[in-house]
Structure 1
Amino acid sequence: MLILLRHGQTTSNVDHKLDTLLPGAELTELGREQAKAAGEEILATYDVDRVISSQATRAKQTAQIAFSERFGDIPAVEGIQEVHAGRWEMHNSREAHEAYLTAFRDFYRRKLEALIDGGDTLDLFLSRYKGGLLPYAAQGGTTVAVSHGGAIRAFSANACEVDPVFAEMSYLPNCQYVVLDPTAGPTGDPVEDFGQWRVVRWADYELPG
């Protein structure tokens, strides 16, 4: 299994800023509490073999708070950071959020050329995210990857056969997570079957039939 956990609340989340570049903002006190609770829930529910995080400060902090008592080595992995907001970086206007979310609608629909102005295309995002994550998915067992809300939703919608409307409407709050089965495709090989994985859980939403 692959558990993609969104980081806890940050100061940029509070200010509604599109904070996507490394190293990014730190967790708030609430974010730290969220991380602790998420770690306790995941470890009580799943038999976790390894934990990794993105290189963003908020993701590393979340991973350490949530899992360091069980896992001494939590690598910060290149490539699994947030989808780059480009010209809208650190903006919090309605225009910025609408432009960012409009690009994501095409991400969910697997349009590889879809572009955030000055930021990532879907093709570029998937190339780097898969490069960071797939080596861990291929190891078997259960990996927790502490990452970012937009990135998790875009990746999951492309890794699995997910209704794009469901992916668009199913926002991932801080320290909620998506659980994927990378071995559910026809060959059982996570790399070969990318695009045909199975969604096991998407936060607390009811999965479409």
Structure 2
Amino acid sequence: MATLILLRHGRTSANASGTLAGRTKGVHLDDLGRAQAERAAARLAAVPLADLVSSPLERCRETARPVVAAQTGAVRVHTDKGLTECDYGEWQGRPLKELARLALWRTVQAQPSAVTFPGGESMTQMQARAVDAVRRRDAAVAAEHGDGAVWLAVSHGDVIKSVLADALGMHLDLFQRIQVDPASISVIRYTDARPYVLASNTHEGDLSWLAPHGKKGRRKPAQGAEVGGGAGPASALA
């Protein structure tokens, strides 16, 4: 049972201007996005990463770079097309305020499982290939590095939301209830019994409690859900 950290890319000029970038090439982090990536890297510095996987798009790889620089151990970025942005087809590159006037927008909000973007992929296809990518990678990381291993995936808002929805056992039609901001960190631990969502859409806070087990004060994760909620990770202040 490895632990997956999901990091959305930092803000881009497309985000700031209200444009749906999709898979458009040449979309980079803006000044705020680079600062957000540095902040996320500082939070992750206390967590030795067994693996780091990114969407192939520039904004995700740019977000991953400071994370690599902040790690004390050797880690390099792998890319996985399974983590790439949704293929929004003809919606790509258009202003969100313009798209919000289309009938399909209402379906995206209320019943995303029924949506196939014109000239693009369906939202169910997006979720299926993203969930398959993270679950396969998680199993491989656990097999190679042990159950205490922690790894990072850098991806996109809707993709991360769909992975979190799967881990929560939510139907895709409910995934718009989940918020995933630029450079936010979410955490999932997969087990044989079920996934556990340990954190969602966090911007601040200590992450050292995610470091692999064996250090003083760290307990082995329970094999099932602890009745009553359990004691949680040992406090860094203890």
Common topology (TM > 0.5): yes
After superposition, what is the alpha-carbon deviation per residue over 1:63-122, rounded to whole angstroms, capped at 9, x for unaligned? 012223424421122221111222211111424146457326434xxx4x5423332213
Does the 8 A contact of 1:27 with 1:61 survive in 2?
Answer: yes
CA distance in 1, matches of 2:65, 2:106: 30
2:140 pairs with 1:142: no
Match of 2:45 in 1: 43
Query: Which of these residues, 196, 199, 203, is aligned with residue 197 of structure 2?
Result: 199
Partner of 1:10: 12
Match of 2:176 in 1: 168
- Give 2:190's match in structure 1, choosing from 172, 178, 182: 182
CA distance in 1, matches of 2:14, 2:151: 27
Contact 2:45/2:70 (8 A) holds in 1: no
Question: Quick one: which amino acid aligns to residue 148 of structure 1?
Answer: H
Q: 1:103: which partner in 2? A: 108
The amino acid across from 1:90 in the alignment is G
- Quick check: 1:90 aligned with 2:100? no
CA distance in 1, matches of 2:199, 2:174: 13
Aligned residues: 191
Aligned to 1:68, what secondary structure does the other structure show?
helix
Q: Which runs of 5+ in 2 are unaligned?
A: 143-148, 204-228, 230-238
**C-alpha displacement of 1:203:** 1.5
8 Å contact from structure 1 (residues 48, 144) kept in 2: yes
Alpha carbons 1:100, 1:116 under 8 Å: kept: no
Query: How has the CA–CA distance of structure 1 residues 105 and 198 changed in structure 2, closer, same or farther, with 3 Å as cutoff?
Result: farther
- Whether the 8 Å contact between 1:20 and 1:81 is mirrored in structure 2 is no
What's the offset of the Cα at 1:164? 6.6
Cα distance between partner residues in 2 of 1:91 and 1:75 = 30
| Structure 1 residue 16: Cα displacement | 0.8
State the shift of 1:31 in Å. 0.8
TM-score (norm 1): 0.79
CA distance in 2, matches of 1:65, 1:82: 21
Q: Secondary structure at the match of 2:42?
A: helix
Normalising to structure 2: TM-score of the pair? 0.70
Matched, 1:61 2:62: yes
Give yes or no for the alignment of 1:80 onto 2:83: yes
Answer with 1 or 2: which has the greater Rg.
2
- What SS class does the counterpart of residue 5 from structure 2 fall into? strand
SS of the aligned residue for 2:82 comes to: coil
What are the superposed Cα offsets for residues 156-207 of structure 1, whole Å, 9 maximum, x if unpaired? 2123324878742332111002211111x52xxxxxxxxx4221111149xx
Q: Helix, strand or coil: the match of 1:75?
A: strand
Task: Give me the whole-angstrom Cα distance separating, in 1, the residues matched to 2:106 and 2:165.
Answer: 14
Q: Does the CA contact (< 8 Å) of 2:21 and 2:93 recur in 1?
A: yes
Structure 1, gaps ≥5 residues long? 187-195
RMSD: 2.7
Which of 164, 169, 193 lines up with 1:156 in the alignment? 164
